[in-house]
């Protein structure tokens, strides 16, 4: 795959660093996410658990909040790791969240490869569906 010049090592280091800030007193499973925007900004997020498990926030939620805090743009690359630096794939909810803010060509770094989000989330539901465009884009 032809991908833009992304410093995956730096994104990985940022994701590991932010995982240290996670709030995970129940699972003790810390997660960090770091991304690059189309404006060249770094965005990060970590998981924040809650005693009411259903409202726990994944690291990708924090990453998208940071994207919006910085004025928006589109995500072009994301690295998600556990507290030990092992790569993680986004959960289903977060795949949908990342699609909304990065689209099908968003690059996700894994242990073995770099994948486009459309490989992890085929036939997504997107903003276009709400406008009657059908393709979600």
pLDDT in tens, 52-107: 989 999 999 999 999 999 999 999 999 999 999 999 999 999 999 999 999 999 99
For 100-124, what is each residue's pLDDT tens digit? 999 999 999 998 899 999 999 998 8
Q: Strand 114-116 relative to strand 107-109: parallel, antiparallel, unpaired?
A: antiparallel
Among residues 49, 60, 100, 118, the one annotated as catalytic is 60
DSSP per-residue string spanning 1-23: -------HHHHHHHHHHHHTT-B
Q: Is 43 exposed, middle or buried (0-12, 13-18, 19+ CB in 10 A)?
A: buried
Q: What backbone phi and psi angles, to 5 degrees, belong to 7? A: -85, 85
Per-residue confidence (pLDDT) for residue 13, from 0 to 100: 98
Q: CATH no. for residue 84?
A: 3.40.140.10
User: 118 an active-site residue?
Assistant: no
Helix (H) or strand (E) holding 88: none
Residues 60 and 90: their CA atoms lie apart, in Å, by 8
Number of domains in the chain: 1
Domain-embedded: residue 41: yes
Domain-embedded: residue 122: yes
Domain-embedded: residue 2: no
Q: Which domain holds residue 20?
A: 8-130
pLDDT band at 1 (very low <50, low <70, confident <90, very high): very low
Residues 35 and 66: their CA atoms lie apart, in Å, by 10
Other beta carbons less than 10 A from residue 132's beta carbon: 6
Domain-embedded: residue 79: yes
Domain-embedded: residue 137: no
Is the pLDDT at 137 greater than 60, yes or no? no
Indicate the pTM of the whole model: 0.90
Is the pLDDT at 21 greater than 60, yes or no? yes
- Sign of the torsion formed by the C-alpha atoms of 25, 53, 136 and 112: positive
Domain-embedded: residue 136: no
Residues 126 and 103: their CA atoms lie apart, in Å, by 9
């Amino acid at each position: 795959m032809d991908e833009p010049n992304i410093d995956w090592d730096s994104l990985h280091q940022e994701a590991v660093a932010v995982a240290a800030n996670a709030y995970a007193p129940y699972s003790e499973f810390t997660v960090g996410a770091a991304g690059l925007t189309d404006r060249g900004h770094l965005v990060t997020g970590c998981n924040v658990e809650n005693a009411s498990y259903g409202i726990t926030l994944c690291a990708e939620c924090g990453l998208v909040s940071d994207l919006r805090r910085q004025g928006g743009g589109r995500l072009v690359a994301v690295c998600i790791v556990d507290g030990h630096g092992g790569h993680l794939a986004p959960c289903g909810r977060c795949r949908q969240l990342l699609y909304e803010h990065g689209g099908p060509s968003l690059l996700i770094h894994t242990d073995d490869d770099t994948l486009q989000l459309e490989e992890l989330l085929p036939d997504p539901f997107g903003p276009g569906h709400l406008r009657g465009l059908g393709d979600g884009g």
